[in-house]
Chains A and B, each alone.
Chain A
C-alpha cells in the first residue's frame, strides 16, 4: 500500500501526489491526513461513501479549495503555490457538470478556448478533436439548458478536455444518468484514459470495475485502501476441494506447504473435503497444492483463490471504520 512502487512510475514522476492532506470546515474535519500517489497514465477511482471527503480532495487538487494542512502536487507543481500552472494541467468536471444554461454549446466551448488563451489555430484544432471525441456534433447550436442529462455531461467533459490536459479530474461523472448514458460516458472515459491520467470519484462500485485500473478507498476522511483492483480484491485464502484417503493427513500436508499459515477443513459431499489455506503472504500456492493431490492420487474438484468482490472489500472497510468509531 503506502510505499511507491517505482516500476509503476512512468518517467519517474508522480502525476498526482498528495501527502497528509487535511481539510477542516469549521467544526467538521473532511480530510484527516490523506496521502496517495498516482503515476502518469493511470485511471484511478476515488471511492467512498457519501461524505467521505472525495469531493473535498478533488477540489483541493484542482486548486479550488485550499487545504488546512498537508501538501498536494499535480505534475510536480504545488497546488497552493502555483494554482494557475496546475489548472492548465487539469481538466476538471465538478459534480453534475454545472454549466451556463443559457449559452449554446459552441459558445461555451469558444469561451473556454479564450479562457485558456488559445490562438485561433489551436482553438480550431482543439474544437474539432473535442467535438469528435465527445460526440456532441449534433448539439453544438443548442442551449445547454435544453440538453438531456447525458448530453450535458458530455458537454461538461468536452469543456474539461478542450485544452487537452494531461490530467482529468471528474467528480461523479455518471451520477444521475440512465444505463445507456452511463455506458457512453464510461466508454468516453476509457478512451481518454489511454492518453491521460484520470481520477474519477464515485460511490458506484461497478463504475470502478468498468473504468479504473486502480482504486483509492476513502472513508471518513482517511485512505483505507489503495491498490490495483487485483490487489484490493485478492484475498490470502486458497480454497482446495479434494477427496483424500485420510483427511487428517491431507491437512497436515497442506499445512506444510510454504507460505501457508493455517488450514481449516470442512467436509463436502461424496467424501470430498474443502480446505481453506490461509496464506502468510500473497503468494501462489496452487501448484504445490495440486502436486500434493496428484502425487497421492486424490481427486481434485476445486482449486481457487477465495477472492472477494470489490463490493465486499468496500463493505468490510466501512464496517471496520464504524466499529472503530463505536
Chain B
C-alpha cells in the first residue's frame, strides 16, 4: 500500500510539474461546458437535466484520456527510469496500480470541475439527481476503462506519440462499435454483441439514471483486463 501510494503521488506530482495536468483540466472542463451550453443547447431545450453533458462525456474522454496515459510508461522508458523502477523491491502490479490511481484521480478532478453545472441547473429548475449521480458514476467508471487501455498501450512502447495515437484508436474503437450508426449496419444479433462491447452504448443507460449491474461489471472488467495486460507487458519486457 505504501508503495502504491508512493508511485501514485510521484505520478501526480509529475503531472502537475508539467503542463499536462493543467491543460487537461482546463480543456476537459472547458469543452464540457462548451458542449453543454452550445452544442447541447441547454437553454433552448428548456429541460433541467444534464443530458447534454453526459452525451458529450464519453467522446470527450476518448480524446483526452490518451493524453493522460501516453506518458505513464513511455516516459519512464525514454528517460531510463523504467529500469530504476523495475529494480526497486516493488511488485509490478503495485507500479501499475499506483500509476492508474494517479491518472484516475486527475480524471476525477476534471469531472469534479464540472460539478458546478448540476448545482446551477438545480437552481434553475427541478433537477432529477438520479441521472446526474448515475452519469458521474458512469463517467468515472468509463474513464477508468479508458485509462487502463491507455496505460497498457503506454507500457508497450517508449514513443509517447505512438502511445497517444494507439490509445486513441482503441478507445475510439471501443466507443464506436456500440453506436447506432455503426452497430445498426449489422444484423440484429451481431449488433447486440457490438452494443454490449461498446463503451458509449453502455454509458447511455447509466446516464439515463439506470444503474444496471451488468454495466458496472462491464466497466470493471474492461479496467481489470487492461491493467492485468499492463502488468503482463511489464513482465514480458524482462525477457527482451
Contact = CB atoms under 8 A, between A and B. Distances in A.
B138 to A, nearest CB: 34
Interface in A116-155: 116-117
Given A102-B17, A102-B18, A103-B14, A117 B87 contact: no
Contacts of B80: 94, 96, 98
B123 interface: no
A114 B2 contact: yes
A94 B84 CA distance: 7
A107 B9 CA distance: 11
On chain B, which size bracket covers the interface? Answer: 20 to 34
Contacts of A99: 79, 81, 84
Interface stretch (B37-45, B46-54, B88-96, B220-228): B88-96
A249 B205 CA distance: 109
Contact of A111 (B6, B238, B239): B6
Contacts of A112: 88
Contact of A117 (B3, B18, B91): B3
Nearest to B94: A115
A90 B87 contact: yes
A159 B84 contact: yes
Interface stretch (A43-51, A62-70, A231-239, A312-320): A62-70
Given A99-B81, A100-B14, A111-B10, A84 B240 contact: no
A99 B239 CA distance: 23
A25 B18 CA distance: 36
A275 interface: no
A87 B239 contact: no
A88 interface: yes
A29 interface: no
Interface in B193-223: none
Residue among B18, B84, B86 with most chain A CB within 10 A: B84
A247 B94 CA distance: 78
A115 B10 CA distance: 11
Nearest to A171: B83
Contacts of B81: 98-100
Interface in B57-101: 79-81, 83-84, 86-91
A88 B86 contact: no
A92 interface: yes
A84 B91 contact: yes
B238 A66 contact: yes
Nearest to A115: B88
A264 interface: no
B89 A114 contact: no
Nearest to A85: B89
Contacts of B2: 114, 117
A85 B86 CA distance: 13
Contacts of A88: 89
A106 B79 CA distance: 19
Contact of A98 (B13, B84, B91): B84
A115 B89 CA distance: 7
A87 B89 contact: yes
Nearest to A98: B80
Contacts of B7: 115
Nearest to B238: A66
A90 B87 CA distance: 9
A28 to B, nearest CB: 12
A101 interface: yes
A115 B6 contact: yes
B135 to A, nearest CB: 35
A116 B86 contact: no
A94 B83 contact: yes
What are the 5 closest A-B residue pairs judged by CB atoms, nearest first?
A: A98-B80, A114-B6, A87-B89, A102-B17, A115-B88
Given A59-B83, A115-B90, 6 more contacts: A85-B89, A87-B87, A94-B84, A98-B79, A101-B79, A116-B88
9 contacts: A64-B83, A64-B87, A64-B238, A84-B89, A87-B87, A98-B84, A101-B79, A116-B88, A116-B89
